[in-house]
Structure 1
Amino acid sequence: MKKIIPGLPLAVALALAVGAAPALAQEVRIPHAQGETVLPAAPQKIAVFDLPTLDIVNALGKSDLVVAVPKSADGPANFPAHLMGFAEDRHAPAGTLFEPDAAALKALAPDLIVVGGRSAAQFEQMAAIAPTVDLSAGAGDMVSNVIASTENLGRLLGAEEAAAARIAAFRETIARTHELGGKAGTGLLLFGAGEGFSAQPPGSRFGGVYDLTGIEPAIGPSEAAPGPRPEPGTPEAAAARQRQQEALEAALAADPDWIFTIDRNAAVGNTEVAPLADRLAADERVTATSAWQEGRVIHLDSKVWYLMTGGIDGMTASAEAAAAAFAQAQ
């Protein structure tokens, strides 16, 4: 597989590739997280296994190019509300983010398969079926990644004007949100999974909430231990849980001015556990905070954040919701 030039930003590399010499005008070179993929022409049939990409393709008005998405053939699709159009039959089921349906993909014969994030580990399997790119978000803040991804997909799909318009609107929303968030005090993100919940610092999986809203984090950056998650039942797992609880206690003791929540159970349809909002309301450590007592709690769209964590439409809606809450509290 061809490799991109070390240190060359993806947006710049793609711009140079698309603007190649006239003799190669139809060739599309796509630098990505796992190398570079070359297509003979702009793709017309795309299988998308990355929800942020699906969000952006939809935002650019190119959803008709999507022939396959991660959903089951015999069960309901689980997408954020604004992407439920991809549950329609015209977008074929092709397995899950973790277990793609190779036979279905071969039958559909897409020009391009897109993986990213959770599905990035399937890159080699997908690449054996059709040209594949890994559009996982790179290092850097949430806002920059959303803008870069939208620019790149705009070039790839011939939707540069639509991309520019969406980015301009997104920048305006972020500027307004940051203006309000910068005056809102401190914020703390609580993530609920199973029967528990934890504090999410900057640099954690959902730390992009702080980037998006512009609020000052109530806690410092993530100090998570490197390496894979400890196996359940091991001393390492017990130690990790203890550190998580200590971090939660410290975060709540910092008395945040705002609390944000993401509920994994709600995102995946688990109704066996009480909603996170109800569990937080019953926890005296949470209800003692200024944020809770003043009603400064923002329940984020859990499907957008847990299933997707990106995409220009999903992030715009979250920023708008935060800005509205900040403005109302002034």
Structure 2
Amino acid sequence: MRKIVFVAVVLMTAAGLAACAGGGTDSEAGTSASPSSLTIQSLNASKSPISLEVPYNPKRLAVLDMASLDILDSLGLGGRVVGSADTSLDYLQQYTGGSTANLGTIKEADLEAVMASEPDVIFIGGRLASAYDALSEIAPVVYLATDPETGVVESVRKNASIIASMFGLESRVEELMAGFDARIKALSAFSSGKTAIVGMSTSGGFNVLGSDGRCSLISREAGFENIGVDAAADTSTHGNEASFEFIVKTNPDYVFVLDRDAAIGTDGAKLARDIVENELVMGTDAYKNGRIIYLSHPAAWYTAEGGITALDRMLADLEGELL
């Protein structure tokens, strides 16, 4: 009898050890003692902060925001994505086609496709704020964004922590964020005392960006003095179309260029270099000193700012040209 009991205990212990050793991040999410739901901080259709109840450890995810998809992918939760928006991001192509439903774009959701995917949770970004209420009729909508005042790095850390908490994976976030603060510090040390204009080439024109939205990482965190903020009051999204005389007049040390057409894959679009490097700009110190920087991963900057892999690529774009 003692022998039988001993064997049973050994078998149970071995089974427990095997369970602990097996499985990836996806299988680690949640436990048998987990709650059925939790409350997180999100945004609503008016982009105001709200408390949102979501299911804990959701199994079916509809993702219409590339920054959120980036974070889910980094957390090893890609197997739960049942539907996604189209994307030109090379590292997220596994979520387009195949068994993953096409839910539209990051600007226009296919509501019927979203409903048919039967999601437990829907993730959106600012471009779909107007569809928030309609999507909320299908499932809870998690709407996260970066905050220029907080900074991109801290926004990514905060949003990744919120998403991770839905699956009991909070401990993974600091591991994924390791090194970003040191990289920002190195860029900030380099940029001290240097001026820049940050702009976006689009549809044959050049729009100057401020420090209140897209590409604010370059000034607010990487430390360049963005003298383009004088171009217009509202530069948070697509910037303000400025004449190239403005660049000549301000004569910055650096010009950073985001190619929007390349980011969204516009067919037949004029190359950013062909737009920017005209006769006027070629007379500036930035051009003469080889300091016009074309951001190498425009899709990350334009469509996935707020993602972990996107942040890595954005910093690499700056480091590769500056450090």
Q: Which amino acid aligns with 2:283?
A: A
Q: What are the superposed Cα offsets for residues 193-238 of structure 1, whole Å, 9 maximum, x if unpaired?
A: 1111122122244333323422222333674259x99xxxxxxxxx
Aligned equivalent of 1:279: 275
Separation of aligned partners in 2, 1:222 and 1:111: 44
Aligned equivalent of 1:64: 79
Aligned equivalent of 1:143: 153
RMSD between superposed Cα atoms in Å: 2.7
Aligned equivalent of 2:248: 252
Residue 109 to residue 273, structure 1, CA distance change in 2 (3 Å): closer
User: Aligned match of 1:160 in 170, 182, 189?
Assistant: 170
- 1:267 maps onto 2:263 in alignment: yes
Q: Offset at 1:253?
A: 1.9
Aligned equivalent of 1:127: 136
SS of 1:220's equivalent?
helix
Aligned equivalent of 1:90: 99
Q: Offset at 1:317?
A: 1.4
Residue 223 to residue 308, structure 1, CA distance change in 2 (3 Å): same
Aligned equivalent of 2:320: 324
Residue 156 to residue 219, structure 1, CA distance change in 2 (3 Å): same
Aligned equivalent of 1:15: none
Aligned equivalent of 1:196: 205
Q: Offset at 1:161?
A: 2.5
Aligned equivalent of 1:216: 225
Greater shift, 206-215 or 125-134, is seen at: 206-215
User: Aligned match of 2:289 in 283, 288, 294?
Assistant: 294
Q: Which amino acid aligns with 2:161?
A: E
Q: What are the superposed Cα offsets for residues 62-114 of structure 1, whole Å, 9 maximum, x if unpaired?
A: 2112111113xxxxxx3222222222413221122333222222222111001
Q: What are the superposed Cα offsets for residues 34-69 of structure 1, whole Å, 9 maximum, x if unpaired?
A: 233223422121111111111111122221121111
Greater shift, 202-211 or 47-56, is seen at: 202-211
TM-score, structure 1 normalization: 0.77
Contact 1:117–1:137 (Cα < 8 Å) also in 2: no
Q: Which amino acid aligns with 1:151?
A: S
Separation of aligned partners in 2, 1:95 and 1:261: 28
Residue 195 to residue 139, structure 1, CA distance change in 2 (3 Å): closer
Residue 144 to residue 251, structure 1, CA distance change in 2 (3 Å): farther
Aligned counterparts, 1:3-82, within 5 A? 25-34=35-44, 35-71=50-86, 78-82=87-91
Residue 204 to residue 285, structure 1, CA distance change in 2 (3 Å): farther
SS of 1:284's equivalent?
coil
Greater shift, 28-37 or 258-267, is seen at: 28-37
Contact 1:202–1:221 (Cα < 8 Å) also in 2: no
SS of 2:108's equivalent?
coil
Contact 2:67–2:304 (Cα < 8 Å) also in 1: yes
User: Aligned match of 2:124 in 115, 127, 135?
Assistant: 115
Contact 1:202–1:222 (Cα < 8 Å) also in 2: no
Q: Offset at 1:157?
A: 2.6
TM-score, structure 2 normalization: 0.79
Residue 222 to residue 147, structure 1, CA distance change in 2 (3 Å): farther
Equivalenced residues, count: 284
Question: What percentage of aligned pairs have identical amino acids?
Answer: 25
User: Aligned match of 1:172 in 172, 176, 182?
Assistant: 182
Separation of aligned partners in 2, 1:105 and 1:315: 28
Separation of aligned partners in 1, 2:228 and 2:106: 32
